[in-house]
Structure 1
Amino acid sequence: MALKRVFYEEWQMGCCGEPFSVGDEIRWPLVAFDEGRPRDGGHHGAEAWVENHGDTTHPTTGRVRAIDLVHQEFTVDLDLRDLGRAAPPYGKVTLLPSGRSQRPVPDSVTFEPVDHCPKWFEEEDYAPPRGPHRVRRVLGALVTLEVPDGAPRGPGDRR
């Protein structure tokens, strides 16, 4: 048996995932990270990620040995032009932009060891949402799996 680190993105868990705990046996469709082409925000030390929306015909079976929730802080900016806008006349529909944008705070990724991965993750606000402020979000779970030696090794390997 070998150990493999897998990243389970929060949106994948919220959409199609099932909560799991240390010691559980899992069957997940994994895709290996390509070091030459990092995925979106990075892989946080993982060798593969869980992909519930692609080819799920060759899942990897393993036992969960450790779970770390991956947190990151974001700066949230609001479009203040819309905060003081009067309501449209009764019966008139007006579509407005949400006015909220998030930017990752550099070097703010932290890891929290846990025994259980929930299906849904909370967002922590650090200030009232009436102006620019920071939030701390869970990006996903970094999971250490004990897998058979024949588990996927590299990009394109669907074992």
Structure 2
Amino acid sequence: MTASADGTARTATAPATVRAYYKEWEFGCCGDPFHLGEEVVWELGLMELDEEGLAVWRDHLTELDPDVLPALRRTAVERAPASPPPGARLHGMVVASHHGVLDGESQRVSARVAAIHVVSHRWSERPSDRLRLSPATDWAAPFGGPSGAPGVDGWLVTLEEVTSPPPPDREAARGRRARGQRGQRGQRGQRGQRQRRGGRR
């Protein structure tokens, strides 16, 4: 089960806040560091949850408003065991992904990072107690990125001012930042190679 419908009519005002789970392996593979207050452009998808998974993530679901997340709402409708009534309020667990979503659509959005919580999983008889959230003070990826850091499974990120599709100026700014970060990584790699060659002399 990936979404729930309560049968009530949706409000006219689209929600401007989305909570997205950014898995550590996704970030370690292809992500760029982000921090509180930053404007980001992300690809979002919908986590596929069974009943137990829904119990784990129940407190962190996002309303899938058709004006803000139409692709995710279509995915929720397709995955629902029964067709929800027209205008029903649907909720789902949103994820940030660089690799697409299995059996679902993804949605590209721009947003402002309003809050970051470090997520770790632990065993508990009660599914609702299996997530441990710790507030992150600023950077999601201190010291350049904690890929493989013990106890870090990902981050629960609160996104505000969500817009889809992203405005062209934000897409352009994201491209410039990505090119700058790739250039910095390349320079660091070249310096490391020169240092290693120097050490062998």
TM-score normalised to structure 1 length: 0.55
Match of 2:113 among 60, 64, 67: 64
CA distance in 2, matches of 1:26, 1:37: 32
Residue 98 of structure 2 is matched in structure 1 by 52
Q: Return closer, same or farther for 1:7/1:33 CA change in 2, 3 Å cut-off.
A: same
Shift of residue 72 of structure 1?
2.7
Shift of 1:5: 0.3
3-state SS of 2:153 partner: strand
Q: Which of these residues, 1, 23, 28, is aligned with residue 9 of structure 1?
A: 23
**1:29–1:60 contact (8 Å) kept in structure 2:** yes
**Aligned partner of 2:109: which letter?**
T
| Amino acid paired to 1:117 | A
Higher helix share: 2
Q: Is the 8 A contact 2:45 2:106 kept in 1?
A: no
* 2:67 alignment counterpart: none
Query: TM (normalized to structure 2)?
Result: 0.45
- Structure 1 residue 111 and structure 2 residue 133: aligned? yes
Q: Note if contact 2:44-2:106 (Cα within 8 Å) is conserved in structure 1.
A: no
Give the Cα separation in 2 of the matches to 1:22 and 1:58. Answer: 22
Distance apart, 1:63 and its partner CA: 0.3
Which SS does the other structure have where 1:11 is aligned?
A: helix
- Once superposed, which parts of structure 1, at least 4 consecutive aligned residues long, lie more than 3 Å away? 33-44, 55-58, 147-151
- What residue ranges of structure 1 are gaps of 5+ in the alignment? 74-104, 124-136, 152-159
Percent of residue pairs bearing the same amino acid type: 30
How far is the alpha carbon of 1:14 from its aligned partner? 0.4
- CA shift in 2, pair 1:8/1:42, >3 Å: farther
The structure where strand makes up a greater share of residues is 1
Structure-2 separation of matches of 1:65 and 1:39: 25
Over aligned residues, Cα RMSD in angstroms? 3.2
Asked whether the equivalents of residues 18 and 162 of structure 2 are also in contact (C-alpha less than 8 Å), the reply is: no
Structure 2: runs of 5+ lacking an equivalent: 1-14, 62-92, 166-201
Instruction: Decide whether aligned partners of structure 1 residues 37 and 51 sit closer, same or farther in structure 2, where only a CA change above 3 A counts.
Output: farther
Q: 1:71-122: per-residue Cα shift (whole Å, max 9, x none)? A: 234xxxxxxxxxxxxxxxxxxxxxxxxxxxxxxx223531111121012252
RCO higher in structure (CA 8 A, sep ≥6): 1
